[in-house]
Structure 1
Amino acid sequence: MEPAAQGRRFDTNLCEVHDPVTHQQREKPEKHKLCFTHKNLLRSTHCSKKMKRKGKEMREVLVAPPPPPPRFPMDGAPAAPLPREFLDFLGENGLDPSIYAAGDRVPRYVRVKPGSESCLRELEGELACEPETVDWLPGFYSLPPRVQIAGTKAYREGKLYGIDAASGAAVLALSIAEGDHVLDLCAAPGAKLCMMLDALGDSGSVTGVDVSEHRLAACRTMLQKYAIGDWCRLFVADGTTFSVSPARVHSYKSCKSTTNEKAQTFQEWTSRRPWKERKRAAKARQSATSKSRLGFQYPEIIFYGKHSGVVGLIKDDLYRTVSDNELLNCGYDKVLVDAECTHDGSIRHIQKFEQWGWETLQQRVLNAERTDNLTLLQLKLLINGFRLLKVGGTLVYSTCSLTVAQNEDVVEQFLKENASAVLQEIDAAASWPCKSGRIPKTLRFDPSTSQTSGLFVAKFTKVGL
């Protein structure tokens, strides 16, 4: 308690505070009227109930506890206080901690698979709540934050995707058209990849790349669950060095169930591959591992659809080296670089630290060396993704971090090093609930402004020089 507050008294006659430091009061008390502190008022047996109540009010004012630290709403649990280290991290990056207080109001978003809209009525009955249309994002619906969709029939049958609306906006910014060849350079866990395939139609291709084999395997599982993998191929590879060009799209021809070992052509992919083929794949992985130790890593293809352009190809054709000049004309039409980041803008990711333990936050998010390494990785991913883009193509860079270092600073450095890169307005964003980034034409989503998780989005096009 402040020293001045300790000496304040409550006048029983005038109901006023006397401050011995300032010696100020609005009226002079009548003679012979006693003055008591709020404690005396509460203890006295001679005071009326009204005066006791006044004393209680004074106690609440004078001895009120300091305001609590910002708290983070945990899913299905009382709000948990944000740790001091995380608050310091937010302060250093100019981020307002209050954006996390809105986390308990962020809806759970779902996307309905095109042609499966009839499942919404059934979903409403199962969840006892009506899915609300997200007006600014076609095919998306919002549900109350605590709703769980994993047990619903629509989700089990592959009619419903769980994906945040901000992530959907990043895919929508690509303006994918039928026949496009699309590259998702950081594809796992796959929700955005599936949205790309749904937007693609019956021509073109989507290539998914991720450095983590087990995370990319989750993408493969999603493709099989939702039966949308015919135009897709998945590579385990380092996105900063990946160099496989878009596949030639072939009309589907029935293939034999065995592999022609002499020609080494790709047969139709199946999860139940013959023993010899599995053995050969294992040998190829072992060879790739040994090569990676020498500074070279050969991409491993772990899935390809029958219309992805892989079936019938010879291995040498698939991995044929393409020069940068060739890529200007035959590179990818659209590229998404949803780069690895600290995830500080992802409400559900930060919520997980309540389970993992806040002490792990230092290692996973706050470590300065990790952050510096991440920004370098993000820049390399952006540079390589842009290299694989053809002239006139579109690249979208996004992260679920809200820090300037991982967003605007990366974009600024990239533009300095790439004269053929031009930032583009995202036309659809005129109706989006987001705000501008620190660089014109870039966008930011956050829980307070957008009712979504945090996301930064920048859109580029490649011009000929």
Structure 2
Amino acid sequence: MFINQKPPPSAMLITSFQLHSVISTAYSQAARKFLAVPSEKWEKKAILRSSASSNCFSGGILKMEVKICSSNEGCCTSQVNNGDLPLPVAFLEFLEENGLDPSIYSLAESIPRYIRVKPEFESDIGGIEFELNCKLEKVIWLPSFYSIPPHIQIASSQSYQLGKIYGMDAASGAAVLALNVLPGDHVLDLCAAPGAKLCMLCDMLSGTGSLTGVDVARHRLAACRTMLQKYSIGDVCRLFVCDGTSFSVLPFRSKYETAGTDPEVSEVKFAEWTDRKSRKEKRRERRARERNYSKPNPEPELLFYGRNSGVAGLSKSELFRPIKDDEPCSSGYDKVLVDAECTHDGSIKHIQKFESWGWKTLQRRVLDAERTDDLFNLQSRLLTNGFKLLKTGGTLVYSTCSLTIAQNEDVIERFLCLNPSAELQEVDVADKWPCKPGRIPKTLRFDPTTSQTSGLFIAKISKLP
């Protein structure tokens, strides 16, 4: 393969090479050889297609097209065929550094979409199929989940609007199922938005125990509240706007200690929840939020609570009372889910969004080294705080939709070294799951190629006495 080091401004380099067994590797190697050629006058930018669509082939030859442009012409990209996702070289390098195959991003049209049918409506599958005009394929390894063609939109359907179904990737459903939630459990979802996990957890609790959802973004948590109210499943749920790394509200239990609280404050009790607040109340709450935003550690904001969530009848000082260091061991949560913020590189649909958002946004959100380091620290702190709030003998599931080792196995290894009371557990319901083992024994990995789902990492941890 010959590369001209000083092409004219409008030149397009078309290279051809024999088809290799791993298409993406050939793409990556050829691109790097091209981009490695030094040039003072030319900024070389390439976007590669790793899809094996029929129009990429000609007589058994795989073709790669790369445009070259001067630095003041902006970024030139190769023509995109339907079903292809152009990937910038910087992202390909990110994937290579993390041992990930870029060909997974050509699978967008072959990965099905998943929906969860609320258990009480599974007898109405025929009606839902008629309305969506497609066949619902039962996911045999995940109860109440069905796959549908990726182009089917559910938001305008009556089944969705009536709360019979909602969209949720099967891998995310597996992370929730790994918790083994039982009726009566007190459950904490430390990164609750956008809300599908909350809905599934509410169904698993069957109106018993309690469910606490936490998210740092108020608008995202407001979407969770809307879902709980839409599906009428929020009776045992409460939602807090708070940084998950510092959240410290325990589940309400019958023997709450309230000694030492201000008697004047404790006289004011939370009434039964209503979202029909007066304009005066809304204005007062908005001003309180504005005051909290100026504080270094704002108090959690209670955004929603159900009638059976243990909030109605409490005072604010009782709800937000300081907890003793060892108190969570006996009065903490039975189950904790930490579906941590990550680079989302395991989600094809998420990476696709950068085509419209712009690849510079991908650079800032995914590829920036400082951002990656910050994420590792955030994930570690979320995991540490979630474990702190876990009751002795309880179960925590850590998950991300990243496929990188740094955001998964590395986080778990560091955490286990620092927490001798933490022990990795087998996910006992995973015998028939279409996933691979992680680098650490007992951890699991879903990926688009093997699982036909979004990428997801799962680690299940128990708290020893």
The two structures have a TM-score, normalised by structure 2, of 0.80
Secondary structure, counterpart of 1:88 in structure 2: helix
Are residues 1:176 and 2:181 paired?
Answer: yes
Secondary structure, counterpart of 2:429 in structure 1: helix
Identify the residue that residue 47 of structure 1 maps to in structure 2: none
Cα deviation for residue 284 of structure 1 reads 3.0
Distance 1:410 1:275, change over 3 A: same
Identify the residue that residue 348 of structure 2 maps to in structure 1: 347
Q: Give runs of aligned pairs for residues 354-373 of structure 1, distance below 5 A.
A: 354-373=355-374
The farther-off stretch of 112-121 and 128-137 is 112-121
Cα deviation for residue 103 of structure 1 reads 2.9
Contact preservation (8 Å) 1:248, 1:310: no
CA distance in 1, matches of 2:356, 2:183: 43
Identify the residue that residue 116 of structure 1 maps to in structure 2: 121
CA distance in 1, matches of 2:65, 2:445: 28
Identical residues among aligned pairs (%):
62
Letter paired with 2:227? M
The count of corresponding residues between Structure 1 and Structure 2 is 392
Identify the residue that residue 149 of structure 2 maps to in structure 1: 144
Are residues 1:284 and 2:285 paired?
Answer: no
From 203, 206, 209, the counterpart of 2:211: 206
Secondary structure, counterpart of 2:382 in structure 1: helix
Contact preservation (8 Å) 1:119, 1:154: no
Q: Give runs of aligned pairs for residues 237-256 of structure 1, distance below 5 A.
A: 237-248=242-253
Contact preservation (8 Å) 2:265, 2:315: no
Identify the residue that residue 462 of structure 1 maps to in structure 2: 463
CA distance in 2, matches of 1:77, 1:416: 47
Identify the residue that residue 403 of structure 1 maps to in structure 2: 404
Letter paired with 2:269? T
Q: Give runs of aligned pairs for residues 18-417 of structure 1, distance below 5 A.
A: 66-67=63-64, 77-248=82-253, 263-290=267-294, 292=295, 295-417=296-418
Higher CA-based Rg: 1
CA distance in 2, matches of 1:417, 1:338: 20
Contact preservation (8 Å) 1:337, 1:381: yes
CA RMSD of aligned residues (A): 2.3
Contact preservation (8 Å) 2:434, 2:446: yes
Distance 1:122 1:425, change over 3 A: same
Identify the residue that residue 424 of structure 1 maps to in structure 2: 425
Identify the residue that residue 451 of structure 1 maps to in structure 2: 452
CA distance in 1, matches of 2:449, 2:401: 15
Contact preservation (8 Å) 1:164, 1:452: yes
CA distance in 2, matches of 1:103, 1:284: 45
Contact preservation (8 Å) 1:119, 1:159: no
Contact preservation (8 Å) 1:324, 1:387: no
Identify the residue that residue 43 of structure 2 maps to in structure 1: none
Contact preservation (8 Å) 1:184, 1:207: yes
1:161-182 deviations in whole A, cap 9, x for unaligned?
A: 1000000000000000000000
CA distance in 1, matches of 2:360, 2:83: 20
1:274-319 deviations in whole A, cap 9, x for unaligned?
A: 34433442343234223x2xx3220000100000000010111101
Secondary structure, counterpart of 2:120 in structure 1: coil
CA distance in 2, matches of 1:272, 1:189: 23
Cα deviation for residue 262 of structure 1 reads 8.1
Cα deviation for residue 66 of structure 1 reads 3.8
Secondary structure, counterpart of 1:390 in structure 2: strand
CA distance in 1, matches of 2:359, 2:200: 33
CA distance in 2, matches of 1:100, 1:319: 45
Distance 1:68 1:459, change over 3 A: farther
CA distance in 1, matches of 2:189, 2:266: 32
Secondary structure, counterpart of 1:460 in structure 2: strand
Contact preservation (8 Å) 1:166, 1:455: yes
Cα deviation for residue 264 of structure 1 reads 1.8
The farther-off stretch of 262-271 and 232-241 is 262-271
Please, which runs of 5 or more residues in structure 2 have no aligned partner? Answer: 4-57, 67-76, 256-263
CA distance in 2, matches of 1:264, 1:279: 19
Contact preservation (8 Å) 2:265, 2:316: no
Cα deviation for residue 61 of structure 1 reads 7.1
The farther-off stretch of 312-321 and 354-363 is 354-363
Contact preservation (8 Å) 2:185, 2:335: yes
CA distance in 2, matches of 1:263, 1:61: 82
Distance 1:211 1:107, change over 3 A: same
The farther-off stretch of 238-247 and 77-86 is 77-86
Secondary structure, counterpart of 1:306 in structure 2: coil
Letter paired with 1:219? C
Contact preservation (8 Å) 1:249, 1:308: no
Contact preservation (8 Å) 1:249, 1:307: no
CA distance in 2, matches of 1:217, 1:306: 18
The two structures have a TM-score, normalised by structure 1, of 0.80
1:401-460 deviations in whole A, cap 9, x for unaligned?
A: 000000000000000110100000001111100000000000000000000000000000
Distance 1:211 1:2, change over 3 A: closer
CA distance in 2, matches of 1:356, 1:428: 38
Distance 1:249 1:212, change over 3 A: farther
Cα deviation for residue 149 of structure 1 reads 1.1
